[in-house]
Structure 1
Amino acid sequence: MELETIEQFRNLVLKLGLPRTDMVLFGIVCPYCGKNDRIRSLEPPEELNEEDLGRINMDLYRRIWGELQPKDVLAVCKFCHNIMQLQGEAKKAIPLYEW
């Protein structure tokens, strides 16, 4: 995965204040910073309202979501703001890129 695409998605998530729900996924460790109490699932594009986010932002979110992991759950660490993939019914976080 291109680091530039991941950074673009990360910046969009920060700009839009996503996720809209503030439900912590306890027990999942961030593969980037090691925190285990800051992981939140990102909403898939179909669960977001285009009127709230704007058409351009929504189109970008939808496109990058599809490029990153169209069939898996994506999450963000609210401490380090990195995007990750959740696997195994959200029991394990996998980094989208390695430093």
Structure 2
Amino acid sequence: MTTWFRTYYEDEDLWLCFEADDEVCAVRQVEVRAQDSRPVTAASLAEVLHLRGHADLAAMARYEERYGVLAEGPVDGWQEQPRATEISAAEFERLWDEARRTLSSDSDSVV
């Protein structure tokens, strides 16, 4: 079952928002700076896997520079985090769309 949630990472002052699969692994991830609400990450597992299978290391580096690095492995245990909450699929899509627009606005997409 797909779940969508967000949690606050105090050390970096970031909201981390996840779309997670049945194994609670990140399928898509958005990170937003709490200070100014600016997205800093909008990474997708499907895109990362595509690049790993069809592109070179330079393309992967460009992707990570633009969209950030996707969390690897399970992201479970989020429910115990302070300020963590489940969000709707629609809310995640809104955050995702906004983050991708912001992070893609300076140049063409690398994928």
TM tier, smaller: under 0.3
Q: Taking structure 2 as the reference length, what is the TM-score of the superposition?
A: 0.25
Larger Rg: 2
Q: Whose strand proportion is higher, 1 or 2?
A: 2
